[in-house]
Amino acid sequence: MAGSNLMNKVWNFFGIEQDEDDEEIENYDEEYEQEEGEEEEERKLFGRKNKVVNMPQTNQVKMVISQPTNFEQSEEICQYLKERKACIVNLEYVNKDVARRVVDFISGGVYALNGHIQKISNSIFLIAPANYDISNEMGRDEVKSKLSVSWLK
């Protein structure tokens, strides 16, 4: 480069010869200046330095399907809710009195934990923690007319 030619002239004027190490240093400086020039060109093209940006990772969502056969299993369903897991509860094979008690117990847990409960069919319910958002495309009146559960009225 121009700087190294000037230095060579100064060294020659004083009668000092350059060592091989000095030449290697000059060559290294020239390569470094070339790399800096290439980086500046890249910056001009892209407008900024390359930066690493962290992408937020979503946790895997777990859903549990439960088919309780007695009232004692309703506590286990509320435990899933406490662990922030959604749960589908199928009460088809349970006595209607036991099913009513299970729904009442789970409803209390849902209320206490600010969760959500949604009736899917006559005896199937979706229970979700507060971090879930449940949307229903069917209107409330439409659901009531299609689904009739004598023990839930």
- The neighbouring-strand residues paired with 124 are 90, 121
In this prediction, residue 104 has a pLDDT band, given cuts at 50, 70 and 90, of: very high
Please determine, for residue 148, whether its predicted confidence score (pLDDT) is greater than 60.
no
73-82 and 96-112 helices cross at what angle (nearest 10)?
Answer: 20
State phi, psi for 90 to the nearest 5 degrees.
-105, 115
The string of pLDDT tens digits covering residues 46-61 is: 555 556 667 776 667 7
Q: Within 10 A of 72 (CB to CB), how many other CB atoms are there?
A: 10
Number of helices (H), then strands (E), in the chain:
5, 4
Please determine, for residue 128, whether its predicted confidence score (pLDDT) is greater than 70.
yes
Greater pLDDT, 33 or 91: 91
Please determine, for residue 87, whether its predicted confidence score (pLDDT) is greater than 70.
yes
How far CA 18 is from CA of 7, 21, 56, 70, in Å, comes to 10, 8, 56, 94
How far CA 116 is from CA of 39, 122, 125, 130, in Å, comes to 55, 17, 10, 7
Greater pLDDT, 32 or 68: 68
Could you tell me the pTM of the whole model?
0.52
H helix or E strand, kind and range, residue 27: helix 20-46
Please determine, for residue 153, whether its predicted confidence score (pLDDT) is greater than 60.
no
How far CA 43 is from CA of 19, 35, 94, in Å, comes to 37, 12, 69
Mean pLDDT of the chain: 75
Average pLDDT over residues 145-153: 56
